[in-house]
Amino acid sequence: MQKIMVCIKRVVDYNVRVRVKPDESGVMLEGVKMSVNPFDEIALEEALRIKERGTNAEVLAVSIGVADTQQQLRTALAMGADRALLVQTDQPLDPLAAAHALLAIAKKENPDLVLLGKQAIDDDANQTGQMLAALWNRPQATYASKLAIDGTKATVTREVDAGLETIEVDLPAVVTVDLRLNEPRYVKLPDIMKAKKKPLDVIALDSLGVPSPVSFKIVKTEPPAQRQKGIMVKDVSELVDALKKKGLI
């Protein structure tokens, strides 16, 4: 295990309650707190643990996004990534476009393992890892809750609807991580200072020469339908009555 590439997406912080713009053109992002996608923190934590377990692999954090994404990559460096790369663009990318850009980086960097989050909490797409694996013609192991590296292969436990599935993949492979893989470490102040000296390269998306894949047209963005306000009951017998009245028990 020489090199692990971790994909980091800059997203609206998970504590922010996102609101739709009155003109239905999108969601309000001005002045909103931005963070590393929570699943990507888990991906990075896993890479760091594989490194610290003695493989000493280089951990490379990669993001495609606006110039300010450097903030999230600095966070990744402070957590312990060795090096970061920002593929800069002002265009919002859908997962297929992101996968094409990540493929170009993977081909340059030749990582043994690419770790991504299972989904970005902004678009909730859950696609990029699978698409990257397809384009790269490599194995995919999605929704990992356990990851064991053994020489040239990895054994991955996956969270599936039925329970936990285990598969074995040859490296290099693409793994997308689920919530229970690990608990990401906290960044300490000295780490933030140290991170300032670590290399963070910025290249333009255009310089990669990847095709700009077709996308969907977004017609409008609306708030979800609201549920009707319900009733409060005083005690359990009133609760039972209410359920009976609705024909639920």
Partner 1 sequence: MSKILILGEHDAKTLNPATHKCVTCAKAIPGSHITVLLLGADTAAVAAQAAAIQGVDEVVRIDRAENAHPLAASFAPQIAALATGYTHLFGPSTSFGKDLTPRVAALLGVPQVSDLMAVDGAYRFRRPIYAGNAIVTLEADPARILVATVRVASFEAAPSGGAATISSRTLDVSLPSHTRYVGVHTGATDRPDLQTAARVVSGGRALGSAENFKLLFDLASKIGAAVGASRAAVDAGYASNEMQVGQTGKIIAPQVYFAFGISGAIQHLTGIKDARTIVAVNKDPEAPIFEVADVGLVGDLFQVVPELSRLIGA
Ligand X SMILES: Cc1cc2nc3c(=O)[nH]c(=O)nc-3n(C[C@H](O)[C@H](O)[C@H](O)COP(=O)(O)OP(=O)(O)OC[C@H]3O[C@@H](n4cnc5c(N)ncnc54)[C@H](O)[C@@H]3O)c2cc1C
CA distance 225 to 248: 23
d(CA 154, CA 167): 8
Q: Which of residues 27-56 bind ligand X (CB under 6 A)?
A: 38
Task: Looking at residues 5 to 44 of the shown chain, list those that interact with ligand AMP (rule: CB under 6 A).
Answer: 7-9, 37, 39-40
Binding to partner 1 by residue 189, rule CB under 8 A? Answer: no
Instruction: Tell me, by CB under 8 A, how many residues bind partner 1.
Output: 84
Main-chain dihedrals φ then ψ at residue 108, nearest 5 degrees: -75, -40
- Cβ burial of 42 (10 Å; 0-12, 13-18, 19+) is buried
- Please provide the DSSP assignment of 166-196 as one string: EEEEESSEEEEE-GGG--PPPPPHHHHHHHT
Q: Pick the piece of the chain touching ligand AMP (CB under 6 A) from 20-28, 46-54, 127-135, 143-151.
A: 127-135
- CB-nearer residue toward ligand AMP: 55 or 127: 127
Least distance from partner 1 to the Cβ atom of residue 201, Å: 26
For residue 136, the minimal CB distance to partner 1 (Å) is: 10
Q: Does 126 bind ligand AMP (CB under 6 A)?
A: yes
Q: Give the number of other Cβ atoms within 10 Å of residue 130's Cβ.
A: 17
By beta-carbon proximity to ligand AMP, the closer residue of 125 and 164 is 125
β-bridge partners, 3: 58
Nearer to ligand AMP, 8 or 208 (CB): 8
Contacts with ligand X by CB under 6 A lie at 14, 38, 121
